[in-house]
Amino acid sequence: MTTDTNWRSPCPISTSLEIFGDKWTLILLRDMFNGKTKYGEFLQSPERITTNILATRLATMTRHGIAQKQLYQSNPKRYEYILTDKGKGLHPILVSMCHWGNEHYPDTWIAPAHFMEKV
């Protein structure tokens, strides 16, 4: 993980946005909270991330220390991406987003309880 220090400002909201303020990072976080860990699994999600974006997002998330690349099979070598504690710390943000989304966009899915209540 490289520690950027050229933030737009020292505001924690602004700094946070520089880490995960794009269209995909929080979607991948959601998938990881739901147990997905592998490249191929992330590709299956309904938002249909493309392969190049997925690769760069996973690399950036790893660099920022919110996910970690880990060997889970050695023949052939295969890696999975798992949440770090720093990444898990983003859970309350996802939960708040679910609440807000469900409240203002009634056709959105209700997330399963195990997701909303995860520590």
Partner DNA sequence: AGAGTCACTTGTATTTTGCAATTCACTATT
Partner DNA sequence: AATAGTGAATTGCAAAATACAAGTGACTCT
Examine residue 13 and tell whether it contacts a second copy (CB under 8 A).
yes
Q: Which stretch binds DNA (CB under 7 A): 18-26, 82-90, 96-104, 111-119?
A: 18-26
- Which residues have CB under 8 Å from 62's CB, separation 6+? 1, 68, 69, 81
Q: Which stretch binds a second copy (CB under 8 A): 4-12, 35-43, 53-61, 71-79?
A: 4-12
Which residue from 51, 48, 69 is spatially nearest to 59, judged by alpha carbons?
69
Q: What are the residues binding a second copy (CB under 8 A)?
A: 5, 7-18, 21-23, 26-27, 30, 45-48, 86, 89-90, 92-94, 96-105, 107-109, 111
